[in-house]
Amino acid sequence: MNFVSTRGKVNNIGFIETVLMGLANDGGLLVPEKIPQIPAEKLEALSKLTYQELAFEIFSYFVEGEIPENELKELIEKSYSTFRHPEVTPVKKVKDNMFVLELFHGPTFAFKDIALQFLGNLYSYVSKKTGETIHILGATSGDTGASAIEGVRGKEGIRICILHPHGKVSKVQELQMTTIDDQSVLNLAIKGTFDDGQRIIKELFADVDLKNKYHLRAINSINFVRILAQTVYYFYAYFQVAKENEGKNVNFSVPTGNFGDIFAGYLAKKMGLPVGKLIVATNENNILEGFIRDGIYKPGEFQSTYSPSMDIQVASNFERYLYYLLKEDSKAVSELMENFKSEGKIVVNTEQLLQVKKDFAAHGVVGEECLQTISKYYEDTNYLLDPHTACGVAAYEQCNDSHEVCVTLATAHPAKFNESIERCEIKQSFPEQINELFNKPQFLEVIEADKNEVVHQLETLFRFSAN
């Protein structure tokens, strides 16, 4: 399969090159030249597979032989052997017509493990094949960092640097990243927000000479493989729920800040999965809700919330959706992104807004609503929601019709966000792997949110040469 940039100046590159390029060299995001279509009879066959078997089938549509079948299967088996549940992403019924898709059974108790365990193994595979060292850069609002480090640490030929906003992630998230004592891992706590970190990463990847010279690779969801891996669990969850709810619409409510997780559902739907509504759940940083409601994408003032992994104003995957909304017109996408850069907002026309409303519903969840949802479900069902999942459940309650079935993506284990859980006067027990973190020393550097400062730190990790 060939991949192209949303901005039109990168074309006809294969799967492996797409993985390695991450951010397209023209500043756009890489997408498949043509989205594969899965017919109904094939979907029926896929519904009978295990998670690993399903992942192989979905990945194969995009890999198209660039990785031999036996080696792709090995990569998948290795990636998901680290999960604590045999189904990888089990679906739990919480009440009538309401399910949660538990995405927190991986090594770092967050949904990012599903993509990053695979991407880490894939990078290691490529490094061994090519003999080149891979230098991974990423920014995190909390979960990506820990998952990325866990996915690649200890793998020969890989070094990783992660930026996180200093003081703006949960304590467990911080400890999962910064208690790793490994010379191939660099944690940078920037004095700023996740958006500042994401901006710096994009600036570094936009410097094509630097990117190519030092083999810089992306771990954020600008990398299409992140989206692809997340698409699998929409198929898996749909098949589990549809079996028991024949004839009913199956909707998904998705806590999202960077638009990657919801875009994976959009991709699954475009591939032929008969999903109903895709509900975008945000918090007070509700730029995505504003766009879906009014057709105006405009960052507001950053707010720290009880659901910090969604404390994002500029959603890096939004450009992928724009590409399809604008009927794959890369010139139009480029113009909109240039306008966004100069004017600070994107506005779509009436016809396009109607399409947006067909594609998505949305609800922005404010702090007390989030906490009340946690308390309510714990009291009524004895199911403890993490604050991000609670935003998803609150959005389900606002956007789902009573006769429809909804699956809310449970994106993290509640132990990762005990600060919010304690506000609900709920005492939870921590998994042993998380308990152990509190007794370990931390390894991190606190720096200004400045590209040049980041490059200076990278020179030590990657041993950059001035020549």
Q: Which residues are catalytic?
A: 112
Give the end-to-end CA distance of the chain in Å, rounded to a whole number. Answer: 37
pTM of the model: 0.94
- 453-461: long-range contacts (C-beta < 8 A, 24 or more apart)? 454/161, 454/163, 454/188, 454/190, 454/200, 454/204, 455/204, 457/161, 457/186, 457/188, 458/135, 458/137, 458/161, 458/186, 460/186, 461/135, 461/159, 461/161, 461/184, 461/186
Give residue 210's pLDDT. Answer: 84
Provide the strand spans (E) within 151-265: 158-165, 185-191, 216-218, 250-255
pLDDT above 60 for 321: yes
Q: What is the pLDDT of residues 32-61, one digit of tens each?
A: 999 999 999 999 999 999 999 999 999 999
Segment among 55-59, 142-146, 419-423, 447-451 with least mean pLDDT: 142-146
Asked whether the beta carbons of 10 and 20 are under 8 A apart, the reply is: no
Interval 82-133: pLDDT, tens: 999 999 999 999 999 999 999 999 999 999 999 999 999 999 999 999 888 8
Q: Over range 137-156, report the average pLDDT.
A: 91
170 pLDDT higher than 80? yes
By DSSP bridging, strand 445-448 and strand 91-95 are unpaired
The C-alpha atoms of residue 118 and residue 123 are separated, in whole angstroms, by 9
In the chain, pLDDT over 70 holds for what percent of residues? 99
Q: Does the structure show a pLDDT above 70 at 467?
A: no
Burial of 129 per CB tally in 10 Å (0-12, 13-18, 19+): exposed
* Whole-number pLDDT of residue 463: 64
What is the structure's pLDDT at 53?
98
Place of tokens 């720290």: 304
3-state SS class at 281? strand
Q: Residue 466 above 60 pLDDT?
A: no
Q: Looking at residues 198-223, what average pLDDT do you find?
A: 89
If phi over 0 gives left and psi between -120 and 50 gives alpha, with beta otherwise, what is residue 328? Answer: left
Classified as helix, coil or strand, 29 is strand
**Token pair of 269, please?**
């739907």
b/e code 233-261 from CB counts within 10 Å (16+ = b): bbbbbbbbbbeeeeeebbbbbbbbbbbbb
Structure tokens at 217: 């690779």
Extract the tokens encoding 463. Answer: 């041993």
Model pLDDT, residue 437: 96
Q: What is the per-residue pLDDT for 130?
A: 87
Average pLDDT over residues 408-433: 96
Domains in the chain: ranges and CATH: 91-106+225-423 (3.40.50.1100)
| Per-residue pLDDT at 464 | 42
Q: What is the pLDDT of residue 104?
A: 98
- 37, 35, 57: which is closest to 46 by C-alpha? 57
What does the chain come to in residues?
Answer: 467
Burial tier of 351 (Cβ tally within 10 Å: 0-12, 13-18, 19+): exposed
Q: Are the beta carbons of 169 and 139 closer than 8 angstroms?
A: no
Of 240, 272, 234, the closest CA to residue 254 belongs to 234
